[in-house]
C-alpha cells in the first residue's frame, strides 16, 4: 500500500473538475510551446551536469565553479542536440541555476538589439549570439567615481564586454546617461583591460545566486571609441570634436530597461508557480491535528486533518495561487505590449513608449514584490518542513529577492500627470477617449454618481467582477486625487514617497482588474480560443478570487475615501454582533466561500503549471507524494556530502565532542571515559 501522503495527493488530484494539460496549454499559449519546453527539460534531466542535488552543501568557490561548468555544459547540449536560440534560452532558464551567462542573455544582448544602430547590430549581434563575447550590463555606473554602487552580474569573472550606462559629456556639457559598449577583458587571456579594475564581491545573503559572479569595477581613464556609443536613437556627430544629435523622444533609451522588465514579469510568475506547486502539494500531504469538535464515532474522528483545509493556511496560499495565474497573464500582456511598441519604434513611431514605460514600471514593482513576498508566504505555510533546503522553496525566495525593485515614484508621477491632464481637459469626452489601458481607471471619476456605493446585498453579490473592478478603479483614482491634493496643499513630491507606495499599488491593481477579463477569459463575451468550458470556469473563479482578495486588502482606503460605507457604529451592548452581519463581513464570507470552491481544484491547478519533479527539485512537492519517505531517504543518501563519512564523523567526535564531555565528567569527579555510566542502563 502506498504511503498516506501518496493517497492524499492522488485523491486531491482526482477532484479537479478540468483537464490540467488543457489548462497548461492555455497558460503557455502565446508565450511558449509546451512540447518544446518539455523536450528541453527532459534533455537536461538526463544530463548529470544539470543535477542540482549537491549545491546546498557546497562552498562558495564550488558554486562559482558549478555555474561555469553549467555554462560550458549548456553549449555542449546546444551542439549535441542542435538547439536553436529559443531552445537554448529555454535550457538556460530550465537549468534553474542563475549564472553569469543569464546576464548576457537578459541584459547585454537585448540592449544592443534595441539600442544599437543597424551597423552596430550587424557588428555585435553575431558575436553575442554565438558567445564569442560574453557581456554584462553596468547601470548606472560612474566612471572614475570611487563609490561602488551596484553589483554587476557576470562582471566578477565571466564577462569580456559590458554595456555601460554613463553620462555623455561633450565640450563640458552633460547630455545625461547613454549606453556604451566597453571591452572589459582581453579576448586573448581574459586579463582586465588597461585602466579597468574589477573583482568579485563575495557571497550574497541567503547563499543566493552563489553561481553568479557579481562584480565591482573601477574605471580609470578608459577610452571608449565614439563608435561604441549605442546610437540607434541619440548620436554623436564627430564634427567639431563631437556634436550631440538628439533622439526623437527623450525616453527612447528606456527601451532596453523596458525589455528586461517586461521579460521579468512573465518569468517571475513562473518562479512563484514553482513555489506554489511545492507548497500546495505538500499541504495536501501534511496532516496535523484531528478536529477537536468531532465526537467518537463520527467519521474522521481522531484522524488528523490535511493542513490545507485550515482557513489560516488556505487563506494565505490561495491568494498566491491566484497571483501566479494573474501574473502569468499580465506577463504575456506586457510582452505583447512591448512587441507592439518595438515594431512601432522601428518605424520611428513613439506613440506607445510612454504607456509601455508606465505599465512595465508599475507591473514590475507590483509583480516582483508580490512574487518575493508570496514565495515566503507559501514557504512559511509549510511549517517546519519549509525550513529544509531540500523542500526547495527557500531557494526561490532567495534567488528572486533582488528582483523586487521599487519604482513607486515613477508610477505615481505618471499617474499624477494623467490625472491632471484628465481633470483639466477642456472636453471631457475627448479626455476619456485619450485614456490608455493603464489610465482607464480615471474614467470611474466621470461615471461615478455618488459615494458611497451601495454594497452588495449578499455574499454572492461580492463576486460581480464589474463591481469589483469599479471599486478598484475608484480607489486608484481617489488615491491619485489625494496625492494631487497633498501637493496642492504645499507638500513636496519628495516628501510624499511613502504615500506613493499605495498610489502605485492602487493604480496597478485597477489596471490588472481592467485587463484580466479581456486578457484571459472572454473576447467579446465568449471564452478565449482554446479555453474549454471547465478550464474557463476555474480561471474565472481564480480571477474573481484575486480581485475580491485585493478589494478586501484595499478596505482601509475604500472606507476612508467613502467609496464604501462602514456599518453603522454598533451600540456597545450589541458588541460584535452588528459588525458580524455587516456587508464587510459578507465580503469575507464570499472570499472564504470562493476559496472553498477553489479548494478541490488546487492540486489540478499546480499540475497545470506543468513542472516535472526535476524542475521542482523538492522532496516536499513530489508529483506522486511519498513526502516523508523522500525526506528521510534524501537525508540518508546525502549524509556524506552533508557531514562527512563515518570516519570523518568519528573525527568530529574525538576532536570536539569527547573533550567537552570528558571535561564535564572531570568537573563532576567522575570516571572520564564514560564507560561506567552506560553500563548501568
Q: Which residues are annotated as a binding site?
A: 153
Q: Is 257 in the site for its own copies (CB under 8 A)?
A: no
Alpha carbon 244 to chain centroid distance? 39
Question: Which residue carries 563575495 as its cell?
Answer: 202
Q: In angstroms, give the least distance from the CB of 171 to its own copies.
A: 19
Q: Which of 498, 524, 525, 529 binds its own copies (CB under 8 A)?
A: 498
| Cβ distance to its own copies smaller for residue 292 or 524 | 292
Contact with its own copies (CB under 8 A): which of 118, 172, 173, 205?
205
Q: Is the dihedral of CA 668, 670, 674, 679 positive or negative?
A: negative
Orientation of helix 393-400 relative to helix 353-381, angle to 10°: 150
Nearest Cα residue to 514 out of 457, 476, 542 = 476
Q: Which cell is 211 given?
A: 553561481
Three-class DSSP category at 441: helix
Question: Interface residues for its own copies in 451-490 (CB under 8 A)?
Answer: 451-452, 478, 480-486, 488-489
Q: Per rule CB under 8 A, is residue 674 in the interface with its own copies?
A: yes
> Does residue 221 bind its own copies (CB under 8 A)?
no
Would you give the DSSP letter of residue 571? P
Q: How many whole angstroms separate alpha carbon 181 and alpha carbon 108?
A: 9
572 is a contact residue toward its own copies (CB under 8 A): yes
Of the residues 42, 65, 84, 298, which one makes contact with its own copies according to CB under 8 A? 65
Minimum distance from CB of 203 to its own copies (Å)? 4
Of positions 8, 87, 213, 601, contacts its own copies by CB under 8 A = 213
Q: Which of 24, 131, 178, 550 lies at the binding interface for its own copies (CB under 8 A)?
A: 131
Among 226, 246, 301, 670, binds its own copies (CB under 8 A): 670
Asked if 230 contacts 330 with a C-beta cutoff of 8 angstroms, the reply is no
Within 312-331, the residues that bind its own copies by CB under 8 A are 312-313, 315
User: How many other C-beta atoms can be found within 10 angstroms of the C-beta atom of residue 411?
Assistant: 27
492, 524, 525, 533: which one binds its own copies (CB under 8 A): 492
Number of residues that bind its own copies (CB under 8 A): 165
Which one of 349-357, 532-540, 597-605, 655-663 is the stretch in contact with its own copies (CB under 8 A)?
Answer: 655-663
What's the burial of 289, exposed, middle or buried (CB within 10 Å: 0-12/13-18/19+)?
A: exposed
- Please identify, using beta-carbon distances, which residue of 301 and 380 lies nearer to its own copies: 380
| Among positions 332, 357, 395, 515, the unique one binding its own copies when judged by CB under 8 A | 395
What CA–CA distance (Å, rounded) separates 38 from 323? 24
Residues 314, 280 contacting (CB under 8 angstroms) = no
When asked if residue 584 is in the footprint of its own copies (CB under 8 A), the reply is yes
CA distance linking residue 37 with residue 241, whole number of Å: 52
* Contact criterion met (CB below 8 Å) for 609 and 272: no
Binding region for its own copies (CB under 8 A) out of 31-39, 295-303, 309-317, 542-550: 309-317
Work out whether 75 is an interface residue with its own copies (CB under 8 A).
yes
Q: Is 342 strand, coil or helix?
A: helix
Closer of 84 and 187 to its own copies (Cβ):
187
Give the residue with the Cβ less far from its own copies, 337 or 551: 551
657 binds its own copies (CB under 8 A): yes
| Cβ distance to its own copies smaller for residue 199 or 437 | 199
62 in contact with its own copies (CB under 8 A): yes
In this structure, what C-alpha cell is assigned to residue 286? 501534511
**Is there binding between residue 628 and its own copies (CB under 8 A)?**
yes
7: contact with its own copies by CB under 8 A? no
Q: How far apart are CA 112 and CA 181, in angstroms?
A: 9
Query: Is 227 near its own copies (CB under 8 A)?
Result: no
Instruction: For residue 306, state whether it binds its own copies (rule: CB under 8 A).
Output: no
Q: Is 245 in the site for its own copies (CB under 8 A)?
A: no
Binder of its own copies out of 114, 120, 160, 329 (CB under 8 A): 160
**Contacts of residue 291, Cβ cutoff 8 Å, sequence gap at least 6:** 300, 301, 305
Do the Cβ atoms of 198 and 184 come closer than 8 Å?
Answer: yes
Q: Which stretch binds its own copies (CB under 8 A): 36-44, 516-524, 536-544, 660-668?
A: 660-668
CA–CA dist 157, 71 (Å, integer): 13
Q: Which DSSP string corresponds to 563-620?
A: SSPPPPPPPTTTTHHHHHTSHHHHHHHHHHHHHHHHGGGHHHHHHHHT--HHHH--SS
Amino acid at each position: 500500500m502506498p504511503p498516506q501522503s501518496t493517497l492524499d495527493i492522488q485523491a486531491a488530484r482526482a477532484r479537479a473538475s478540468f483537464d490540467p494539460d488543457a489548462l497548461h496549454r492555455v497558460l503557455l499559449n502565446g508565450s511558449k510551446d509546451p512540447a518544446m519546453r518539455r523536450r528541453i527539460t527532459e534533455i537536461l534531466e538526463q544530463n548529470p551536469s544539470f543535477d542540482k542535488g549537491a549545491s546546498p552543501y557546497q562552498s562558495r568557490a564550488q558554486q562559482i565553479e558549478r555555474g561555469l561548468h553549467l555554462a560550458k555544459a549548456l553549449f555542449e547540449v546546444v551542439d549535441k542536440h542542435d538547439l536553436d536560440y529559443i531552445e537554448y534560452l529555454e535550457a538556460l532558464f530550465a537549468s534553474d541555476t542563475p549564472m553569469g551567462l543569464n546576464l548576457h542573455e537578459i541584459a547585454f544582448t537585448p540592449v544592443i538589439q534595441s539600442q544599437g544602430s543597424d551597423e552596430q547590430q550587424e557588428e555585435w549581434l553575431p558575436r553575442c549570439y554565438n558567445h564569442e563575447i560574453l557581456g554584462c550590463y553596468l547601470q548606472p555606473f560612474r566612471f572614475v567615481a570611487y563609490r561602488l554602487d551596484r553589483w554587476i552580474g557576470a562582471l566578477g569573472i565571466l564577462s569580456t564586454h559590458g554595456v555601460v550606462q554613463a553620462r555623455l559629456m561633450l565640450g563640458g556639457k552633460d547630455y545625461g546617461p547613454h549606453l556604451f559598449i566597453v571591452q572589459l577583458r582581453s579576448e586573448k587571456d581574459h586579463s582586465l583591460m588597461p585602466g579597468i579594475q574589477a573583482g568579485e564581491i563575495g557571497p550574497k545573503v541567503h547563499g543566493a545566486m552563489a553561481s553568479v559572479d557579481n562584480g565591482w569595477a573601477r574605471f580609470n581613464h578608459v577610452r571608449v571609441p565614439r563608435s561604441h556609443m549605442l546610437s540607434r536613437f541619440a548620436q554623436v556627430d564627430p564634427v567639431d570634436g563631437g556634436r550631440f544629435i538628439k533622439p526623437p523622444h527623450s525616453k527612447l533609451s528606456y527601451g532596453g530597461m523596458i525589455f528586461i522588465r517586461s521579460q521579468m514579469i512573465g518569468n517571475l510568475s513562473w518562479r512563484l508557480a514553482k513555489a506554489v506547486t511545492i507548497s500546495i502539494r505538500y499541504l495536501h500531504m501534511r496532516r496535523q491535528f484531528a478536529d477537536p469538535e468531532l465526537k467518537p464515532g463520527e467519521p474522521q474522528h481522531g484522524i488528523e486533518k490535511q493542513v490545507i483545509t485550515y482557513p489560516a493556511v488556505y487563506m494565505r496560499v490561495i491568494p498566491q495561487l491566484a497571483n501566479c495565474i494573474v501574473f502569468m497573464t499580465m506577463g504575456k500582456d506586457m510582452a505583447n505590449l512591448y512587441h507592439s511598441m518595438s515594431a512601432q519604434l522601428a518605424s520611428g513611431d513613439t506613440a506607445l513608449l510612454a504607456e509601455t514605460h508606465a505599465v512595465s514600471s508599475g507591473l514590475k514593482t507590483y509583480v516582483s514584490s508580490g512574487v518575493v513576498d508570496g514565495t515566503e508566504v507559501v514557504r512559511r505555510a509549510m511549517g517546519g518542513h519549509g525550513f529544509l533546503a531540500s523542500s526547495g522553496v527557500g531557494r526561490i525566495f532567495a534567488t528572486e529577492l533582488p528582483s523586487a525593485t521599487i519604482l513607486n515614484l515613477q508610477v505615481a508621477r505618471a499617474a499624477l500627470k494623467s490625472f491632471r491632464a484628465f481633470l483639466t481637459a477642456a472636453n471631457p469626452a475627448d479626455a476619456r477617449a485619450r485614456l490608455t489601458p493603464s489610465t482607464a481607471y480615471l474614467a470611474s471619476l466621470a461615471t461615478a454618481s455618488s459615494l458611497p456605493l451601495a454594497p452588495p446585498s449578499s455574499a454572492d453579490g461580492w463576486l460581480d467582477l464589474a463591481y469589483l473592478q469599479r471599486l478598484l478603479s475608484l480607489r486608484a483614482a481617489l488615491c491619485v486625487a489625494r496625492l494631487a491634493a497633498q501637493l496642492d496643499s504645499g507638500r513636496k513630491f519628495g516628501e510624499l514617497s511613502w504615500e506613493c507606495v499605495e498610489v502605485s499599488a492602487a493604480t496597478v491593481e485597477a489596471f490588472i482588474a481592467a485587463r484580466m477579463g479581456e486578457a484571459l477569459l472572454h473576447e467579446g463575451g465568449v471564452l478565449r480560443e482554446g479555453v474549454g468550458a471547465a478550464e474557463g470556469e476555474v480561471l474565472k473563479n481564480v480571477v474573481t478570487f484575486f480581485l475580491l482578495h485585493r478589494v478586501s486588502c484595499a478596505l482601509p482606503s475604500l472606507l476612508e475615501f467613502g467609496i464604501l460605507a462602514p456599518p453603522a457604529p454598533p451600540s456597545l451592548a450589541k458588541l460584535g454582533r452588528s459588525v458580524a452581519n455587516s456587508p464587510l463581513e459578507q465580503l469575507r464570507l464570499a472570499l472564504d466561500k470562493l476559496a472553498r470552491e477553489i479548494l478541490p481544484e488546487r492540486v489540478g491547478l499546480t499540475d497545470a503549471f506543468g513542472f516535472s519533479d526535476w524542475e521542482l527539485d523538492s522532496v516536499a512537492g513530489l508529483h506522486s507524494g511519498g513526502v516523508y519517505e523522500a525526506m528521510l531517504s534524501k537525508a540518508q543518501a546525502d549524509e556524506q556530502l552533508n557531514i562527512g563519512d563515518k570516519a570523518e564523523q568519528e573525527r568530529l567526535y574525538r576532536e570536539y565532542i569527547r573533550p567537552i564531555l570528558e571535561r564535564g565528567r572531570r568537573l563532576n569527579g567522575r570516571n572520564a571515559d564514560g564507560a561506567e555510566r552506560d553500563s548501568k542502563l
